[in-house]
């Protein structure tokens, strides 16, 4: 198997030393399981892989550990079908979110991807506000976002629905597809070409697994029946995994996300809400809060004129507050980690000083 067909490029080659090439094999992470990884080696063989102790110890958080799509240096024991990952190569792109729960930690969902397919169903739960959040996540990754509106066969007027979503994302390609009927998939061909890596992101039940099966031409992913009361399928994919497509491209399927909090996506927020940001440049005061009744507020003026929908502005303000809160938490965490690393040094100095004091007595 040609490593270039796996997404290898000079970006990764330039990170390798002569020692890396002599000591290790290069591989790409296909799947992340509970206690191990599935690694694809350069010669096209799959092995189970675990992390070297030093790699785990040196990582400051989950974001610095391998995930699906990563390129790594590993020592491979082919006779055992196992490997040990010693080094994670720098990522070209990555999709990150804040880890679920109260812990302030980065969770990388997929790495080294070219296209992010944001999958949403044209059913009753089509939510522009959720799409804005997913779009900010995708724009922050460095990859190209594409909106896929699935289950067109369940929508009375999919063209009208797509036009409404296009207003939320005017700078992003929007495609209406039906995995059940196989319609609309031709538009995805360029993003599924050899050497290209794409990822499917979206909530549970929007048809990601059905879409994977249709693209593959086989029942690779399990699909459950659609629920009659809300036209949604149940969550079926349980782990992120990279699969190879007949055309030569690669596709990463992900479990549906019940919780999606952004991670370090300030610039992406500006790109997602370009229209709101442009209106904000016309505010009289730099520190404008953009609330109703604020004198000289360009955003409120755009709402009153009908240029900007109120709910879109509310979404912009909400995500901005969320990122500001996360920044404050990250600062506290960084300070705590710095103090933790500094503590042994302080203790060592105290020990030396005590020794000198005892020696002088």
Which one of 45, 66, 88 terminates a domain?
88
Sorting pLDDT into bands at 50, 70 and 90, what band is 228?
A: very low
For the whole model, what pTM was predicted? 0.82
Domain of 292 in residue numbering reads as 273-361
Judgement on whether residues 118 and 237 belong to the same structural domain of the protein: yes
**Other CB atoms within 10 Å distance of the CB of residue 183:** 14
User: The CATH number of the domain where 153 resides is what?
Assistant: 3.40.50.300
Please give the tally of structural domains in the chain.
3
Residue 214 CA to residue 179 CA, distance in Å, equals 6
**Among 88, 123, 139, residue at a domain's last position:** 88
DSSP 141-206: HTSEEEEEEE-GGG-S-HHHHHHHHHHHSTTSEEEE-BTTTTBTGGGGGGGGSTT-EEEEE--TTS
Residue 352 inside a domain? The answer is yes
Read off the CATH number of the domain in which 52 is found: 2.40.50.140
Residues 156 and 30 in one domain: no
User: Mean pLDDT throughout 76-100?
Assistant: 92
Q: Which residues are CB-contacts of 226 (< 8 A; sequence separation ≥ 6)?
A: 232, 233
Q: At residue 124, what are phi and psi to the nearest 5 degrees?
A: -70, -20
Coil, strand or helix: which one is 114?
coil
pLDDT higher than threshold 90 for residue 318:
yes
Q: Which of 47, 77, 51 is nearest to 66 (CA)?
A: 51
Confidence of residue 6 (pLDDT cuts 50, 70, 90): confident
pLDDT for position 338 = 43
- Regarding whether 237 and 120 lie in a shared domain, the answer is yes
* Nearest of 119, 133, 205, 124 to residue 168 by alpha carbon: 133
Residue 211 has pLDDT above 80, yes or no: yes
Q: Which two tokens stand for residue 113?
A: 């991807």
CB atoms within 10 A of CB 36: 15
- Does the residue 268 lie in any domain? no
Higher pLDDT, 345 or 40: 40
Residue 97 belongs to what H/E stretch? strand 94-98
Q: Which residues contact 224 (CB under 8 A, 6 or more apart)?
A: 233, 234, 236
Q: Region 259-286: what's the mean pLDDT?
A: 89
Least confident of 26-35, 76-85, 189-198, 344-353: 344-353
What is the pLDDT at residue 156?
Answer: 86
Calculate mean pLDDT across residues 114-136: 90
- Kindly state whether residues 76 and 113 are assigned to the same domain: no
Q: Which residue has the higher pLDDT, 290 or 331?
A: 290
Given phi > 0 = left and psi -120 to 50 = alpha, else beta, which region is 293? left
Pairing of strands 115-121, 106-111: unpaired
């Amino acid at each position: 198997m040609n490593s270039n067909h796996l997404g290898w490029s000079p970006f990764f080659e330039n990170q390798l030393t002569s020692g890396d090439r002599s000591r290790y094999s290069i591989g790409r992470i296909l799947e992340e399981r509970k206690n191990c990884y599935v690694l694809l080696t350069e010669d096209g063989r799959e092995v189970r892989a675990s992390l070297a102790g030093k790699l785990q110890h040196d990582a400051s958080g989950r974001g610095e550990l391998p995930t699906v799509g990563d390129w790594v240096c590993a020592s491979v024991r082919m006779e055992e079908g196992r490997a040990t990952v010693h080094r994670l190569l720098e990522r070209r792109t990555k999709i990150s979110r804040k880890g679920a729960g109260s812990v302030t930690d980065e969770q990388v969902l997929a790495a080294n991807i070219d296209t992010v397919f944001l999958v949403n169903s044209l059913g009753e739960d089509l939510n522009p506000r959720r799409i804005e959040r997913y779009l900010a996540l995708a724009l922050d990754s460095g990859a190209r976002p594409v909106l896929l509106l699935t289950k067109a066969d369940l929508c009375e007027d999919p063209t009208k629905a797509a036009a409404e979503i296009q207003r939320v994302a005017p700078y992003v390609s929007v495609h209406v597809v039906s995995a059940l009927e196989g319609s609309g998939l031709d538009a995805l061909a360029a993003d599924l070409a050899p050497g290209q890596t794409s990822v499917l992101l979206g909530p549970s039940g929007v048809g990601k697994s059905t879409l994977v099966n249709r693209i593959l031409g086989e029942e690779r992913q399990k699909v459950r029946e659609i629920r009659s009361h809300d036209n949604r399928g149940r969550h079926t994919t349980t782990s992120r995994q990279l699969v190879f497509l007949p055309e030569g491209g690669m596709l990463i399927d992900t479990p549906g996300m019940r919780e999606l909090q952004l991670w370090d996506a300030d610039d992406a927020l500006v790109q997602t809400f370009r229209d709101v940001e442009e209106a904000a440049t016309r505010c009289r005061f730099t520190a404008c809060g953009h609330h109703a009744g604020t004198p000289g507020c360009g955003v409120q003026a755009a709402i009153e004129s009908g240029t900007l929908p109120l709910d879109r502005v509310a979404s912009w303000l909400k995500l901005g507050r969320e990122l500001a809160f996360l920044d404050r938490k990250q600062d506290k965490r960084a300070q705590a980690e710095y103090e933790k690393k500094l503590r042994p040094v302080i203790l060592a100095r105290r020990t030396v000083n005590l020794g000198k004091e005892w020696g002088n007595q």
